[in-house]
Structure 1
């Protein structure tokens, strides 16, 4: 039987899920409804999104601890959502010292969000040691064929 490979080096990373809704289920599970893959299309501009959820996952190996981090959601260059994360020693003690990761989910919910122009939603996480990491962005575009449905 083959053994698990040793970790060469783990780094912090940030991911994001853009969706219509997120729900907390039994046993602390998250359910994502209507996940967008790279692009959100509206039929015309201006538009209004009844609800847009962004769940940012900040993942740090135990070797790259932080005490605080700031999570920002930007519509193009404008900050539209912000959350400060704080960790303490007990959080880091709860994960393995070698090969362990602290993962923190940060939900943002935007209701009746106006969409005036095509653009991008971007994520930036700034750690207390000065490191700034992105998550994948979401493009917002217009396609009039979605106003009446597609024949494809």
Structure 2
């Protein structure tokens, strides 16, 4: 296992709760289901953790989110002052966290996934992908045409896709 790694939760929204706790709304488990491509996702969020052993702390971090065609959806400015809190003698890992909100993310025809990359002073770490699944029939049958965070303004029962 790589001693440095990236973890992420892809979801519809991230809310900050009392006590500085994040709440994740509409969490995607492996992928997002859409009716058709191309499509624009009105709102997509991702909570990212970059982890490293305390003996090898991050010196700088930059987060980038890309589609599989290489188009950059988000390129965060570099963090250069990644320091540990005072009184942290018992820590074993340094964790850098970021909440990212993408508004109006374009998903073109042929798009298969979004990827997270965390560039550090010495390497680029890749986080979990959000798979883009296109299935008009399944989309129409799930939750009245709503599944995966995007829904058309149509009644799926009026669609020939909803009929067997």
Q: Shorter-chain TM-score category? A: 0.7 to 0.9
Q: Please, what is the CA RMSD of the aligned residues?
A: 2.2
Unaligned ranges ≥5, structure 1: 1-8
State the shift of 1:50 in Å: 1.5
Which stretches of structure 1, 4 residues or more, deviate above 6 A after TM superposition?
Answer: none
Unaligned runs of 5+ in 2: 143-161
Query: Across the two proteins, how many residue pairs are aligned to each other?
Result: 140
Mapped pair 1:16 → 2:8: yes
CA distance in 1, matches of 2:106, 2:132: 12
What residue number does 1:95 align with?
88
Bigger strand fraction:
1
Q: Secondary structure at the match of 1:63?
A: coil
Distance 1:92-1:131 versus aligned 2 partners, 3 A rule: farther
3-state SS, counterpart of residue 37 of structure 1: coil
Tell whether 2:136 aligns with 1:125. Answer: no
Q: Secondary structure of the residue that 1:95 maps to in structure 2?
A: coil
TM-score w.r.t. the length of structure 1 is 0.81
Q: How does 1:3-152 map to 2 (within 5 A)?
A: 11-76=3-68, 77-83=70-76, 84-89=78-83, 91=84, 93-96=86-89, 99-117=91-109, 118-128=111-121, 130-150=122-142
Q: Distance in 2 between matches of 1:67 and 1:109?
A: 25
Q: TM-score, normalised by structure 2?
A: 0.75
